Amino acid sequence: MVILFATGSAKAADWRFPLGFTYVSGFEDVVDNYEDNLEAEGYYVETVDYWPVGISFHPYVQFDNGFGVGAGIGPTMIIYGDADFFDIPIGLDVRYTFIPTASISPYVRIGGRNHLASGDYVEGTKEQCLSG
């Protein structure tokens, strides 16, 4: 009986492991703020190179009834040089897929993220405030 129950529940869900590149909107504002802070401290800042794309990993489990639960990490944002900064967002979400048996289906997703941030000019990870 236990084997039948375990087998039935194993087929009721499908794990998915999306991994990809993600554009980080607003990262240019963080870089500009860092440039302004460095210039206010007397540094000469010609240009700062940055890459507004990071790697994201958001695994989730999709149940046969359309509901799903997932987690995620990324994209990681990094500034290094005269000033250092990094941010790693982590999150949890729930979703509902309208046609779970189709290969392509619309879905809705809601969740939350926490940013693990550190570096020069970062006042705290909860506030995500940059001084300047």
| Residues 81-95: b if buried by 16+ CB within 10 A, e if exposed | eebebebbbeeebeb
Looking at residue 78, what is its pLDDT? Answer: 87
**Rounded Cα–Cα distance for residues 85 and 31 (Å):** 9
In a domain, 127, yes or no: no
In a domain, 95, yes or no: yes
Q: Where are the alpha helices (DSSP H) in the chain?
A: 2-10, 27-40
In a domain, 22, yes or no: yes
Taking only the tens place, the pLDDT of each residue in 47-74 is: 777 778 889 999 999 999 999 999 999 9
Looking at residue 63, what is its pLDDT? Answer: 95
Contacts of 41 (CB under 8 A, 6+ apart): none
Q: What integer best gives the mean pLDDT of the chain?
A: 83
In a domain, 3, yes or no: no
* pTM across the whole model: 0.71
Query: In angstroms, what CA-CA distances link 76 with 49, 65, 113?
Result: 16, 33, 13
Judge whether residue 106 has pLDDT over 80: yes
In a domain, 66, yes or no: yes
In a domain, 1, yes or no: no
**Rounded Cα–Cα distance for residues 73 and 43 (Å):** 34
- For the chain, what is the domain count? 1
Looking at residue 6, what is its pLDDT? Answer: 45
Q: Quote the distance between the C-alpha of residue 43 and its chain's center.
A: 32
Judge whether residue 7 has pLDDT over 60: no
Contacts of 40 (CB under 8 A, 6+ apart): 132
Looking at residue 2, what is its pLDDT? Answer: 43
Domain that holds residue 84: 16-119
